[in-house]
Amino acid sequence: MHLIIDATTTQDQLAYAGIGQYTKNIISYLIKLHPDIDISLLLFADRKSTLKDIIYKNKNVKIVNIGKYQINDFKNDLWYYTKVLPKIKEIKKENSIYFCPYFWRNFPVNTLPTVLFVHDMNLAMFNMYSQKSWVHNLIRKIQYWMTMNKSLKTEHIICNSQTIKQDYLRYYPKYPEQNITVSYLGVDLEEKEVPLDDILPKDYKQRGYVIYIGGGINKTKNSKGVILGYIEFLKLLGKEKKDCPYLVISGGQFENEKLKEVQELHNIIRENNIEDLVLFTGFYEDEQKYSLLKNAFAFIHLSLYEGFGFAPIEALRAKVPAILHKNPVYEELFSEVGLMVDGENHKEVGEKILDVYSNSEKYKSRVEDGYELSKQYTWDRVAEKTYKVFEKVSKKT
């Protein structure tokens, strides 16, 4: 078996998002557990990858140079057909299988057997293909469906939850259901605390904080709802500002006020005079994530739609109460251990934050159950399930 894998999401603007983290981990663990696999990784020549040294130390892994870095955008197809597809045809073997972790980069179903990972059907369900303008949205919509329609020709599809499998089949009911595998993802979080004094104020332990981490700026992430829910919490708390817990928002994308979605968040904060209560950490190091979560009195994530949910799983691993919106995937995965709310009801969100802040002992058993649940999600398990898909496709072809 020879695998050709698109690893470019470990180099582009998605490298630290869920898709990039999935690509990094699935490749690393496939190599770790099956070091004899013949693998060709498609990577840009001039861009650092988040993939670790394991890919360079394994003699069966070949790095395939596909040219200079190309940002992941509406020009994907042009780049794919002129640069990537010719390279795939050049390196393919009789026993090659193409693995595509991210469909926007396109995939060669007419050239060799393809396994496609479908993270979610978010864009289709919300008609949100681009937030730049209606023109961009239309262009990206056409591109989306032209590419996604090719999924009908794939040998196998992997989804990261039952919800996503069902959503995919809503749009493509003719795709054979037996060729879809559901594989929940893993947790890659070392349980080791490090100092946070360089990114949080000196009194963060005294005052406490609720943390929003792993979100994004598109509308379905509902970052606005997090801030509005926190504002309701402050009203209910009724303390002087100097004594109030902080809202910590982590992620580099929240600092780019050139984006109108980010501007809206900062405007809400300024209008409510809480600039000194809402802390933006910006980009943080991987080793800081556990401590950021562990030291919070609550984690909050009100995304309206998700494919899996890396951040909630990580919060559970860090033993912090997780306040989550009742979206279908979070209900599927976390209904027994998360604190489920209507993320669009800001008062309800504020009341839940207050309850967790005031009654931490009340949620102790749920936090422990969440921790035990998080230990079931391992990348070893994900890699083994994925490898079995490749074996199945290999035998069939």
pLDDT of residue 364: 94
pLDDT bin (cut points 50, 70, 90) of residue 284 is confident
pLDDT greater than 90 at residue 262 = no
In this predicted model, what pLDDT tens digit does every residue of 40-73 receive, in sequence order? 999 999 999 999 877 888 899 999 999 999 988 8
pLDDT of residue 37: 93
pLDDT greater than 70 at residue 236 = yes
pLDDT of residue 283: 82
Task: Choose among 106, 118, 114, 99: nearest CA to 182.
Answer: 118
SS (H, E, C) the chain: CEEEEECHHHCCCCCCCHHHHHHHHHHHHHHHHCCCCEEEEEECCCCCCCCCCHHHHCCCEEEEECCCCCCCCCCHHHHHHHHHHHHHHHHCCCCEEEEECCHHHCCCCCCCCEEEEECCCHHHHHCCCCCCCHHHHHHHHHHHHHHHHHHHHCCEEEECCHHHHHHHHHHCCCCCHHHEEECCCCCCCCCCCCCCCCCCCCCHHHHCEEEEECCCCCHHHCHHHHHHHHHHHHHHHCCCHHHCCEEEEECHHHHCCCCHHHHHHHHHHHHCCCCCCEEEEECCCHHHHHHHHHCCCEEEECCCCCCCCHHHHHHHHCCCCEEEECCHHHHHHHCCCCEEECCCCHHHHHHHHHHHHHCHHHHHHHHHHHHHHHCCCCHHHHHHHHHHHHHHHHHHC
pLDDT greater than 90 at residue 230 = yes
Express as a percent the part of the chain with pLDDT over 90. Answer: 79
In this predicted model, what pLDDT tens digit does every residue of 15-38 receive, in sequence order? 888 899 999 999 999 999 999 999
pLDDT of residue 215: 65
